[in-house]
Structure 1
């Protein structure tokens, strides 16, 4: 049941009393003997897993493999039951949270997971929704030892209803996991269109711009990630919501168009050009998308770029134009729409 504002304030105060600092370590750590008893095991999980309700091992924040604490679904249910979150109000029940409830709600595992993290991992949706309403915002945003928030896990495990509930209760979208990925980065990598829609549907333009500009530790924004993984529907969503088409990634200055060209992704190239991407945007080394298309001998994309008005005479840091890169490749040279040229002051029409 959702608590009133006064009760939530009391929980906030009691959480503060149990802290030693503002970090994850400020919450009491669960021990195997005292909290989980025989319900805890240590294991490794490799690869992507969509459902963990019958699995007793936890995904790590890199979504790969790691040795970490896990808990059985039954054991987790017992812990959540201690919170009495489903207990109807009664005259006998105090308006304050009991010491046991505060301890459970304010506790993290040795891996930094709160009860909410665990409920999401094990797909305990009713409990997840109750905990989401019960937790104050600062607890919703707790990051585990691998810097995953509950939102990161809900997106990765494709739980859009949980994502929506977290957003509605004020969960932060800008927090980054150990790879620098925000929850929206995770959605763009794994094709979680519905989760992404729920995250950004009602977000203010100012906050949304901050999310769109955030780079992970590889220097990639959400649009770069969606392009890199050929998530065309997510690209359309981001563009519709105002993502900067020409933003450069932080390592070599590529735009989404450069990435699409490198992948020979004709659909993405066409989408970006049709939505107004700068066809002549240059990387840090001066290369335009046309340099990349010609260098990769991609006739189809070269044609699309030329039709979009790409400047074939722009020079990169090696003082090369796209025409220079095409030299000796008659098939590619034949694709360039040459304009009239002048020889000894006289205009000569060139037709191919």
Structure 2
């Protein structure tokens, strides 16, 4: 029963995160095959149309007669060009193009707009021109996988397109079907250049919000780079303000807990050198030292103790790290005379 409820909550989160009301706006523009000009008056008119769209998504809209296959997009792109004319940029139909079908109104069976498709096919010049041409609401449309153009540009490692999208205020907080923001995608797939473009182009307060966001697995961006063993991106995220002691949403593990679980001495050393809390506790009270000892990792346990880990902290099972040593002599050596206690405290280091 709990599993069913969790799935329902997850679906609700996905639906709440989806921001594709711009689909109807996309279909409403240029329907008379008139050139689309980018100017403030038209953008304001488009926003008025957007706000008149009902909040509930009409999924049947995907079966519109404007739907085309992905395979046809390459040829279609060749039939259109974007040029500078007085009053703004204009999308023009070149000779031989199908005039009865506006490319600005395309929604494929996968929910992709022409901007999604330009990015998927890495038509970079065309994609950047479309970004300049479209209002913000269209830039944040999600496809059937809940991906915006920014998600796709990040996944495909297209930093120039990412920069253009962020400059046009494409949202950094829209989540895909896995709950990943575009920055999550950059961290999971090692797209450092894209991550740098995002951090450089958005205000600091917004970046902090994104760094705190969790995907559906409860992971923030910093958790992801630890799991992917990516020290370069880890240093970058810490440098732009990621919380070293942020807890993931399922068990309360910090990045240091995850690095210990991975038996990754280099990452543990890096996190400690940057100021990670050596005694951070999970929801069950376990510290990184509990995890290191429980996994019989004497080297990391030694490093944690050298970094000031409290050997006497107890988890919710009333266990200290020593209780998890399981006879490992190398680890037991870290707890000399631990059985001699006064008022629950080890006599080691006490002054009389």
The reply to whether TM is greater than 0.5 is yes
Map 1:1-352 to 2 at 5 A.
Answer: 3-6=37-40, 8-9=42-43, 12=46, 16=50, 20-22=53-55, 25=58, 29=62, 36=68, 40=69, 70-72=70-72, 74-78=74-78, 81=80, 84-86=81-83, 88-89=84-85, 103-336=102-335
1:205 shift after superposition: 2.0
Q: What is the root-mean-square deviation of aligned Cα atoms in Å?
A: 3.5
Asked if the contact 2:337/2:348 (under 8 Å) is kept, the reply is no
Task: Please give the secondary structure, in 2, of the residue aligned with 1:320.
Answer: coil
Shift of 1:236: 0.6
Deviation at 1:319, TM superposition (A): 1.0
- Does structure 2 retain, via aligned residues, the 8 Å contact 1:215–1:250? yes
Match of 1:54 in 2: none
Q: CA deviation at 1:161?
A: 0.8
Unaligned runs of 5+ in 1: 41-69
Question: CA 1:173–1:95 in 2, change beyond 3 Å: closer, same or farther?
Answer: closer
| TM-score, scaled to structure 2 | 0.77
SS of 1:85's equivalent in the other structure is strand
Q: For 2:155 and 2:133, locate their aligned partners in 1 and report how far apart those are by CA, in whole Å.
A: 23
Q: Is the 8 A contact 1:24 1:142 kept in 2?
A: no
Q: Which residue of 2 aligns with 1:50?
A: none
Aligned-partner Cα distance in 1 for 2:199–2:336: 42
Q: Distance in 2 between matches of 1:323 and 1:166?
A: 52
The structural deviation recorded for 1:289 is 0.2
How many residue pairs get aligned? The number is 308
Distance (Å, rounded) in 2 between the aligned partners of 1:239 and 1:10:
39
Change (3 A) 1:154 1:311: same
Match in the other structure for 1:49: none
In the alignment, structure 2 segments of 5+ residues that lack a partner are 1-34, 94-98
Q: Do 1:14 and 1:102's aligned partners in 2 also have CA atoms closer than 8 Å?
A: no
C-alpha distance in structure 2 between counterparts of 1:177 and 1:183, whole Å:
8
Q: Aligned to 1:201, what secondary structure does the other structure show?
A: helix
Does the aligned pair in 1 maintain the 2:166–2:202 contact within 8 Å?
no
